[in-house]
Structure 1
Amino acid sequence: MGVRRKALFLEEKYSTAPNQKNLEARSNLQIIFNFAGLNFKTFVNSKGLRQFRLRLNNQKMKKNLLFFTILFMTFGFVRAQENPEQLEEVTLTAGRIDLPFSKNSRTIKIISSEEIKNSGANNLADLLQQVTGVDIRRRGTGGAQADLYIRGGSFDQTLLLIDGIKVEDAQTGHHTLNLALPMEVIERIEIIKGPAARVYGQNAFTGAVNIITKDAVQNEVSIELEGGSYSQKNASVTVSSNLEKSSHIVNYTRQLSDGYRYNTDYDNQQYFIKSKFDTRSLPIEMIAAFADRKFGANGFYASPEAVDQYEETQASLLGFSSEFKKGNLSLKPRVYWRRNEDEYIYLRQDPSVYRNLHISNKVGAEINASYVSRLGVTGFGVDMAKVFLSSNNLGDRERFMTTVFLEHQFNLLNDRLDITPGVAVNYFSDFKFHAFPGVDIGYQLADRWRAYGNMGYTYRIPTYTDLYYASPNTIGNVDLEPEEAISEEIGLKYIASQLQFSVALFNRDAQNLIDYVKENEDDLWQAKNVRDVNSKGVEANFSYGYTIKNHRQNLELGYTYLKDDVKDLNLDFSQYSINSLRHHFTAAYTSQFIKNLSHTVIYKYAERTLGESYSVVDFNISLGLDEFEIYATANNIFNTEYTETNLVPMPKGNVLFGLRFTFR
């Protein structure tokens, strides 16, 4: 990695039996969403027909959303299916207290395996771009390099987990997505928005993303072959084996491209294995992953004029976990190892001009526990880890970390009210002790309506890049203090088999945020704690599944508004500016009108704090015939010109065709 540092830009089941009582009840059910020029309303009229109404009051949004409006006007009146499929309850598993999705008091987005398949995304970065409130800033294509932001935070303030294993990198948050898993092995993704340090630790400053991998449920072999624009050539093989006392899933994926412009070629390889063993004493689960990426980095880092940059990254993960239950006590021990290697070359043709090599290792052990009593559910745990860094720029560094977690859920008023206070206490060998108190509160207004709120303190210690980086024009700062924030959120959820809706208001007061500043034009840029930022906003999500002549349809809408207020620092020279997604609207419509043939239209609108706005439309279609499936994805079909970070232009319209063979 070269000049890459912290950049602060900062969801009613109801009977549809045709009797008058049900029709009257359904005709009164309305969901209305009206914010920032977008008015969406859905209701069932007295004839039992589902009606949608979408109005755009703002002229700019009318223009940008014209395609989306025309698409859904054709579905003005639709009859809901008479025997709707039951909503499968998802249990969130990364914390110390396992909670059903419907009973959680946070804003959480679940991306199911079916949604992953319909998305058309062939890498994690492209998939997460379809979620409102999640800001993925890609440099190039193929998932070669991208940064993960949630609700206006930075890439250093967002945590990634794989089956509950924290895979953050002490060198820099730029490496968060280096270990993004192949789509073929992901069962679902849990996206927790808002402060999560009390549950996960210090890196979950503004949110966390937990990837849940698949289990082998039957014996099968799946082969995928893809080809498309920019000489894309992708291949993937997945083998699943379910034996009497063990199960295994193995995947190998390779993706290559010549690039969509000069020096944006890539060669990505991924290896994955997950095994479960049923032993007489304890079940054992093993997960191992390795990702190797080589890519041209035209303008990715230093400046847009640095067109010959090149980078190679390797990321590894090995983890062993188990679960023990006795009576009301549940114990989940885990040990893991994560490694990351990053080689950055400023001039691809001549590595000797400037080269950085960083190798980081993290070895950790943790145990999470929960105990059910008459007083409620108590969750507690201990997480210990040691980090090692070897770098020709940052030096050789070590850090020991310990986190102790404790929380308890009180269930009151016949279980309609739940209050979960908790605290996490961190010790860092170079930053001493810090505590993260917080509380979640939820109230069940009715069977499907839930009001919730949460508040928490969180912070982030500086990365090794913040502390020790050195280049001809930039230096780190060993005297940096941790960033801090207090966050609050209140929200409302409606969860049923066909319809899910949520809306939340959030606020974050952050202090000591790190920026690179200087007093005089000729000085070096230096990392300092100089920014105080208040971030507030609103988020709304809507999901509705129904059928047309026994063919399944699904509509997903999401909108986030974010406002950042930066304290006047009177700085003449500041390297980073706030450039969050002020308006972020996402929509996905998946439809099926012919058996085995389905298509998905995905719309994304983004308007940043500094004024840039753009709309992108993607399209995916697939035809499944038993063991054989053919599909195609078209990205940016209207050739929108836009950038996501560092003035790197994103590609215009491009296509990808694929075949999938499954042998059972």
Structure 2
Amino acid sequence: MYIRGGGFDQTLLLIDGMKMDDIQTGHHTLNLLLPIQLIERIEIIKGSASRIFGQNAFNGAINIVTKSLPKFDKKQFEMLVSNPTFGSFKQFGFLINSRLSLKEKFNAQLTFSRSKSDGYRYNTDYSNDFFFFKSEIKTQKNPIIISSGFTEKKFGANGFYASPSATDQYEETQASFLGISTLLGSEKFLIRPKLYWRRGQDEYIYIRNNPSVYRNLHKTNKIYLDFSFSKLFDSSRLNFGIDLSNSSISSNNLGDHNRFTTSLYADYTFKTNDNKLSFSPGLSISNFSDMSTHFFPGIDVGFDFNEKINLYANYGKTYRIPTYTDLYYSDRNTIGNPDLNPEHAITNEIGIKYSNENIDFTSSFFTRKSSNIIDYVKQSEQEKWEATNIRNLDTNGFDLNFLYKISPHNSLRLGYTYLFDKSYVSEVNYSRYAINSLRHQLNTRLALKYSNKITHTLINRFGERSNKVSHIVYDSNLKYQLSENSYFFINVNNIFNEEYYETNLVPMPGRNFLIGVISYFE
């Protein structure tokens, strides 16, 4: 997962506003990805988001908002066994969804899903289990919301880490969270307290059938207490808050470490008298008990020409603190660096939005000047790779998103991003870091409705990396509506069997298919 060319450590993931960052490594960011049936919407902030969300929102943030629980006027319990799926590489999956209502006093939903496969090549099999629980407890004013999730993944990691020749790697991960939140205050002054906990566990085995050769086990815990406040005025709004967190890791490789973080943030939004021009200056201050204090200001400006056209611009400073892997990891070829400094960047963006009944269009130009980028370097071939703050990296880019509503049920969506990276390195003979992001990325999606029951989506994905290697992948998704709350689907991915690679030269799957039934509660 990345935004505008950043790495997996530089994008922050949230679930209902709760941060899901992993202090061991950003590799585990998506371990708590929710089934689509639970998701109401996905909010994406591109560019600097540190003044809003704090550390690690270096290139942006993604907030997954779960669906609200339905309210019933009677006691009720329902269970739905659904989503049987079958596909290439012996893919198989299902989902069990249940919900309970005790009139207006208590509502809850519990979901379990499982997916597994033999893998698309040697030692890429996987088995994933996921649990999700959400409840609302009725109070005199606003409900108390309790949510939690747990996932366990077991998978062969052929070439995922180390080098492509390491074909027998294996990994098991666990991730879980538990959170409680509510809404307090009055119409003009709102308080949103959140208390939540995230846990991670990662077991890595270099040779799957012989763990004694090399094995790592990491366990992480992080507890957050977040108070956010909103004061509403006639033509402005003040948001401010405090975020406290305590994190710890216990690892046979990285050691045992603790960190306490205090963050203060504020953002003030106001408009001119004609409501055309808006300003939103803000700042964030964070102190890390084992590192230092950082101050990050930013500002957003918007101008409405009319109801259809909006111009916007923003400026911000952002940062990412090193993960514990960056700081302390050690093996026969690599060594961490406990003296690493956080990565810093200054970002600027200017853009335009246009919208009418049939067209939605957004386009922007952005720059990011990064310093202290963490790289793994060495001076001779005999030395180990060592994590070092060595690079400055300037990134310029352009992106656009276009939606054309051909008719009420047919549409064409297009998204394009162009990136140009310029790196500055001195006094280094060997560098592991290679700028090989997607310089050109074009995604198109054509949605067609053939009848009241049949819909078809055609997807095209084009990418060209900085080294000029490119790929074009075509996917197809055909749906047949079985009822108001269920449909049968056939997905065919990589229709023309394109050969292409992801990070670390990992080959992606060739042509494959998946069929199944998706069902929702009413």
TM-score grouping bracket, smaller chain normalisation: over 0.9
Query: Where in structure 1 are there 5+ consecutive unaligned residues?
Result: 1-147
| Structure 1 residue 617 corresponds to structure 2 residue 479 | no
Shift of 1:307: 0.8
Q: Partners in 1 of 2:33 and 2:482 — Cα distance?
A: 30
CA contact (8 A) 1:215 1:248 kept: no
Match of 2:151 among 263, 277, 291: 291
Moved segments of 4+, more than 6 Å: none
Q: Partners in 2 of 1:188 and 1:375 — Cα distance?
A: 28
Report what 1:362 is aligned to.
222
Report what 1:338 is aligned to.
198
Q: Partners in 1 of 2:367 and 2:54 — Cα distance?
A: 20
Query: Which has the higher relative contact order, 1 or 2, with Cα contacts under 8 A spaced 6 or more apart?
Result: 1
Amino acid at match of 1:478: P
Q: Partners in 1 of 2:46 and 2:305 — Cα distance?
A: 22
Q: Partners in 2 of 1:412 and 1:207 — Cα distance?
A: 28
Deviations 1:483-527 (A, max 9, x none): 110000000001334321000000000001010001111111111
Give the total of aligned pairs. 514
Shift of 1:604: 0.5
Report what 1:160 is aligned to.
13
Amino acid at match of 1:457: K
Match of 1:194 among 47, 50, 62: 47
Match of 1:643 among 478, 495, 501: 501
Report what 1:216 is aligned to.
69
Within 5 Å, which residues of 2 pair with 1:34-113?
none
Report what 2:84 is aligned to.
225
Q: Secondary structure at the match of 2:31?
A: helix
Q: Secondary structure at the match of 2:506?
A: coil
Change (3 A) 1:529 1:281: same
Q: Secondary structure at the match of 2:51?
A: helix
Q: Partners in 2 of 1:310 and 1:257 — Cα distance?
A: 15
Amino acid at match of 1:524: K
| Structure 1 residue 403 corresponds to structure 2 residue 256 | no
CA contact (8 A) 1:215 1:247 kept: no
Q: Partners in 2 of 1:591 and 1:237 — Cα distance?
A: 30
Shift of 1:275: 1.0
| Structure 1 residue 660 corresponds to structure 2 residue 507 | no
CA contact (8 A) 1:586 1:603 kept: yes
TM-score of the superposed pair, with normalisation by structure 2? 0.96
Deviations 1:233-259 (A, max 9, x none): 110122244542333222111001011
Deviations 1:71-99 (A, max 9, x none): xxxxxxxxxxxxxxxxxxxxxxxxxxxxx
Within 5 Å, which residues of 2 pair with 1:206-605?
206-217=59-70, 221-222=79-80, 223-241=82-100, 243-374=103-234, 376-547=236-407, 552-605=409-462
Report what 2:490 is aligned to.
632
Q: Partners in 1 of 2:286 and 2:442 — Cα distance?
A: 36
Match of 1:184 among 29, 37, 53: 37
Shift of 1:568: 4.0
Shift of 1:546: 3.7
Q: Partners in 2 of 1:566 and 1:414 — Cα distance?
A: 44
Deviations 1:289-314 (A, max 9, x none): 00100001111101111111100000
CA contact (8 A) 1:518 1:525 kept: yes
Q: Secondary structure at the match of 1:233?
A: strand
Amino acid at match of 1:226: T
CA contact (8 A) 1:184 1:238 kept: no
Q: Partners in 2 of 1:376 and 1:308 — Cα distance?
A: 58
Shift of 1:662: 5.3
Deviations 1:440-477 (A, max 9, x none): 00011111211000000011111111111111111111
Q: Secondary structure at the match of 1:244?
A: coil
Shift of 1:325: 3.0
Identity %: 47
Deviations 1:242-282 (A, max 9, x none): 54233322211100101111111100000001111221254
Higher strand share: 2
Q: Partners in 1 of 2:486 and 2:59 — Cα distance?
A: 42
Q: Partners in 2 of 1:399 and 1:286 — Cα distance?
A: 26
Amino acid at match of 1:465: T
Report what 1:70 is aligned to.
none
Q: Partners in 2 of 1:286 and 1:564 — Cα distance?
A: 43
Q: Secondary structure at the match of 1:646?
A: helix
CA contact (8 A) 1:190 1:209 kept: yes
Shift of 1:628: 4.5
| Structure 1 residue 151 corresponds to structure 2 residue 4 | yes
Query: Where in structure 2 are there 5+ consecutive unaligned residues?
Result: none
Amino acid at match of 1:558: G
Q: Partners in 2 of 1:383 and 1:533 — Cα distance?
A: 30
CA contact (8 A) 2:181 2:192 kept: yes
Amino acid at match of 1:312: E
Shift of 1:221: 4.5
Q: Partners in 2 of 1:653 and 1:540 — Cα distance?
A: 29
CA contact (8 A) 1:160 1:167 kept: yes
Q: Partners in 2 of 1:529 and 1:398 — Cα distance?
A: 22
Q: Partners in 2 of 1:461 and 1:370 — Cα distance?
A: 28
Q: Partners in 1 of 2:240 and 2:52 — Cα distance?
A: 10
Q: Secondary structure at the match of 1:235?
A: strand
Q: Secondary structure at the match of 1:192?
A: strand
What's the RMSD between the two structures over aligned residues? 1.4
Change (3 A) 1:407 1:662: closer
Shift of 1:639: 0.2
Q: Partners in 1 of 2:124 and 2:304 — Cα distance?
A: 51
CA contact (8 A) 2:450 2:456 kept: no
